[in-house]
Structure 1
Amino acid sequence: MGGRVLSVASECVPLVKTGGLADVAGALPGALEPLGWEMRTLIPAYPGLVEKLADATEAWSDDDLFGGPARVLIGRVGPAIILALDAPHLYDRSGGPYGDPHDFPDNARRFAALSWVAAQIAASGLSDGWQPQVVHCHDWQAGFAPAYMDLCTRTPARSVMTIHNIAFKGEAPAAALDALRLPVSAFNRDSLEFWGNLSSLKAGIAHADAVTTVSPTYAAELMRPAFGFGFEGLLEYRAADFHGILNGIDTAVWDPARDPLIVETYDAATLSKKARNRAALLAEFDLAETEGPLAVVVSRLTGQKGMDLLAESLPDFLASGGALAVLGSGEAGIEADLRSLAEAHPGRVGLRIGYDEALSHRMFAGGDAVLVPSRFEPCGLTQMYGLAYGCVPVVALTGGLADTVIDANPMAISDGVATGLQFHPVDALAFSQTLRRTVSLFQDKGTWTKMQKTGMSQALGWERSAASYADLYESLIA
């Protein structure tokens, strides 16, 4: 069938990225194109972004977009069609997309403006005649778009709201209703009101024609108080319209057989070449050769990611011959604990505070196992990168981690389907026990190699996910 979709996001690879949302926004258009869907992506024009667009021309304008003039420039980045919302009073400022180190105080207005423009494009189209049939909104930053479409513009286009991380609600005081061009009559529990405040994520969930999240298990978890962050009742109410669609990864970028960023390329048939990458990674982190597994962590160093468990759970793993290389940044206390761990175990623990995309590739290529002990994980891409590179995932049993990693229990090992190790509950004891199991399995070279090759054979790209989104779009406009 096919059709036209406007994707609305605050970040998009390769233009701007702070997390996995950008990967999804960047990958979906290309994955949908073979299925007959033309997706254009609307994002804010942060400093320097317009200069990255090829053949940019004006496609929409407004003299007063929430306090200043604005225009939408349409251009290309490779094959992707980008709609850059150029509104200097909102987006031309230093720091990250949301503020650095703290959120900008006017973020509610900044991203309400993005949502407002999406609704206007849905209602009236662009100057080149293009008008979407579906508006696909990503996370709280685009959450007001379905509400504007439903309450203000009355557009015939349908809307999809995707939750990437429900912990970020997009809250604003109720007094902001008028400034955000929202009707006071809609400030109720069935529409915009969220525990006395506004929430753009609540608005999107309540008003979108369909709601999705990024893995089937996370969709089920979100209907429970332990995971729902106050939205569980609304999501249960919308269960018939709520879908868990697993993310994929860009297999053109994350492929050890043709990755220019690693020391030596390899595939499942030449897995022995991974040893050169391992040796290079040990040297890069000043780690000694070890008989146990070289574990890697590539993560935000936060409690949500379970990074506080490392300092307590790793000593036994290290004593059993394991080593650890960490790349990430985050909470000051966790960073300090990891520095102390590295100081206490020289030659066994290496730490790089910050983020380095090329180094992350070398870590998956050189690591034996990747540790992902998240307390909750909507989808997670790290474990999928690990699978692709034969870097066996050791993961908490939650969200997308549960959907993408098959635990090395005796039955799965016997049947040859195991791809990693899972643990539950998410605490230091369970993590420590699973790390001991990791060391034991690593010593069984036949089993470990089979797990690596099985993981590398998984379908990790966007094809299945794109087909699911295409089916959803078609169901909405049929």
Structure 2
Amino acid sequence: MTHPLNILFISSEIVPFAKTGGLADVSFALPQAIKELGHEVRAMMPKYGFISERKFGIHEIVRLREMDIPVGDKLQRGSAKASFIVGQKVKVQVYFLENEFYYNRDGLYVDSKTKKDYPDNDERFIFFSKGIIETLKKLGWRPDVIHCNDWQTALVPVYLKTIYNDEPFFKGVKTVLTIHNIGYQGVFPKESFYKSGLPDEIFPQIEHNGKFNFLKAGILYADVITTVSPTYAKEIISDDEIGAGLSDVLKKRKKDIYGILNGVDYSVWSPENDKYIPVPYSIQTIETKYENKKALLRHFGLEYDEKIPVVAQISRLAEQKGFDLVEEIIDEMMKLDIQYIVLGTGEPRYEEMLEKIKKKYPRKVGIHIGFSEELAHLIEAGADIFLMPSRYEPCGLNQMYSLRYGTVPIVRKTGGLADTVEEFNPRTGKGTGFLFEKYSGQELLKALKKALSVYKNRKAWLKLMKNGMMKDFSWTASAKKYVELYQKLVTPTKKTRTVKAR
């Protein structure tokens, strides 16, 4: 039996407190899964102005009040407050770093008025990174591992190995940096580096194209780097486009990079116990799924016909998600015997394209620009086919949700999509969906037509649905892999400490 570890999980967003994307879901579910395996896990995030202290029972901790944290030539005051992530089986303590000036705003990273990144995002996350380390010192709680996520926390490993390197309290503390999407790197002008307080001599090592790149710095200084699927780990090293300019840096750390698939929180995403859908169902009562299909079509004012499959997407409307391919073939798609439903928000060009299609084919198309948790669940339960034609996809969660709901995924063979969906073979009855490799509209169309031909064969389609529903991508498997990695990191240190103690 391995000994229990102390893990600090740090993230710029955690459900239910703040969310812009999948990072918040991971930061909610993974710490719980690790705690369920018997480890002491705590989490930390910024205390954004919109987070209600009353609603979430956030309270002060007297000894964590009024910490002075230098950012550039200014001293900023921070306080840490506490609450819990409350799961079905465990509670995880969460610390919130508070600062009126940096966090009392209505957005996480983007100004809602200008739609642009806050100009002081560099200072906001320099402050967060230093604040995490100062909070640990004041708290007197020493983690074995600090698990960092994305660029917003990527400076923590850098601080620990430079400014805080000689502090006995942090001796032996290891760092893991998880890259959820390498497209977001935290790139700032050279002047930002001087605000960080890091030693001047490291700038030539961590700069990227003359700028201060938070993620690159973290990649170079973290003890281990993980990313959210095995295939994405290979792609960001070997393909400079997918690696977003950092492939050469990642190649230098190749032996320390691991791909661990994200999990699915089946307490939230499972048709048996989904509180948002009109009629729950399981693999044994699969026919009941069609009651949800009827409800979904009613929601969009479309007619139900069991012979016509509903093809759906829930997505950020962006090129990365393959909407340029959809744009390319949309009129050809509309000639097929399908109904098409999309939930999402994003680039104006794709929002306009979808609104036009809705006007052009009002009896075949349902579009909801925006986001709705309830509608997302209804789409997963009511659709027959789910499209994810991503240019790249670090992990992707919707294809895993779709499998559990018996909604057959059509995906591009990239990143986590390639790791979670297997091509269906009608002859053997094996496989869970349909994949296409070349990034082109015609290849996507070909995969869709292939799916539609199988859909006509009721027996084969039922087998395909059931194959997907039997897949298990729960967080427990992912958590075990992270714990193995943590153990590997701390074991040598623990051994040395034990020898010294004798």
**Aligning the two structures, in what range does the TM-score lie when normalised by the shorter sequence?**
over 0.9
Contact kept, 8 Å, 2:50 with 2:105, in 1: the verdict is no
Contact kept, 8 Å, 2:395 with 2:416, in 1: the verdict is yes
Aligned counterpart for 1:89 among listed residues 89, 101, 109: 101
Residue 126 of structure 2 is aligned to residue 118 of structure 1: no
Deviations along 1:343-395, one digit per CA (max 9) or x if unpaired, are: 11111011010000011000000000111111000000011111111111111
Aligned to 1:134: 145
CA distance in 1, matches of 2:184, 2:11: 14
CA distance in 2, matches of 1:286, 1:9: 40
Aligned counterpart for 1:209 among listed residues 198, 202, 223: 223
State the identity as a percent. Answer: 37
**After superposition, where does 1:162-173 map in structure 2 within 5 Å?**
162-173=178-189
2:195 counterpart SS class: coil
**After superposition, where does 1:48-197 map in structure 2 within 5 Å?**
48-49=50-51, 50-54=53-57, 56-58=59-61, 59-60=63-64, 61-66=66-71, 67-78=75-86, 79-100=91-112, 101-121=115-135, 124=137, 126-127=138-139, 129-154=140-165, 155-156=170-171, 157-189=173-205, 192-197=206-211
**After superposition, where does 1:347-426 map in structure 2 within 5 Å?**
347-408=363-424, 410=425, 413-426=426-439
Aligned to 1:471: 484
CA distance in 2, matches of 1:121, 1:469: 24
Aligned to 2:308: 292
The one-letter code sitting in structure 2 at the alignment partner of 1:86 is E
449-458 or 315-324, larger mean C-alpha shift: 315-324
CA distance in 1, matches of 2:42, 2:110: 22
Cα distance, 1:283 vs. partner? 1.1
CA distance in 1, matches of 2:153, 2:108: 17
Contact kept, 8 Å, 2:78 with 2:131, in 1: the verdict is no
TM-score w.r.t. length of structure 1: 0.95
Aligned counterpart for 1:448 among listed residues 432, 452, 461: 461
Contact kept, 8 Å, 1:10 with 1:97, in 2: the verdict is no
CA distance in 2, matches of 1:72, 1:468: 30
CA distance in 2, matches of 1:173, 1:384: 39
TM-score w.r.t. length of structure 2: 0.91
Q: Give aligned pairs, total.
A: 470
60-69 or 415-424, larger mean C-alpha shift: 60-69
With over 3 angstroms needed to count, the CA separation of the structure-2 counterparts of 1:96 and 1:158, relative to structure 1, is closer
CA distance in 1, matches of 2:474, 2:351: 33
Cα distance, 1:121 vs. partner? 4.2
Deviations along 1:384-442, one digit per CA (max 9) or x if unpaired, are: 1111111111111100000000112x3xx444331111111121110111111111111
With over 3 angstroms needed to count, the CA separation of the structure-2 counterparts of 1:315 and 1:441, relative to structure 1, is farther
1:351 counterpart SS class: strand
Instruction: Provide structure 1 residue ranges, at least 5 long, that are not aligned to the other structure.
Output: none
CA distance in 2, matches of 1:398, 1:25: 23
Aligned to 2:7: 5
1:225 counterpart SS class: coil
**After superposition, where does 1:326-337 map in structure 2 within 5 Å?**
326-337=342-353
Cα distance, 1:460 vs. partner? 1.6
CA distance in 2, matches of 1:425, 1:474: 39
2:317 counterpart SS class: coil
With over 3 angstroms needed to count, the CA separation of the structure-2 counterparts of 1:52 and 1:186, relative to structure 1, is farther
307-316 or 152-161, larger mean C-alpha shift: 307-316
Contact kept, 8 Å, 1:177 with 1:183, in 2: the verdict is no
Cα distance, 1:14 vs. partner? 1.2
**After superposition, where does 1:167-316 map in structure 2 within 5 Å?**
167-189=183-205, 192-223=206-237, 224-290=239-305, 291-316=307-332
CA distance in 1, matches of 2:363, 2:301: 6
Aligned to 2:499: none
Cα distance, 1:28 vs. partner? 1.0
1:84 counterpart SS class: strand
Contact kept, 8 Å, 1:292 with 1:443, in 2: the verdict is no
Aligned to 2:27: 25
Contact kept, 8 Å, 1:253 with 1:259, in 2: the verdict is yes
CA distance in 1, matches of 2:317, 2:23: 18
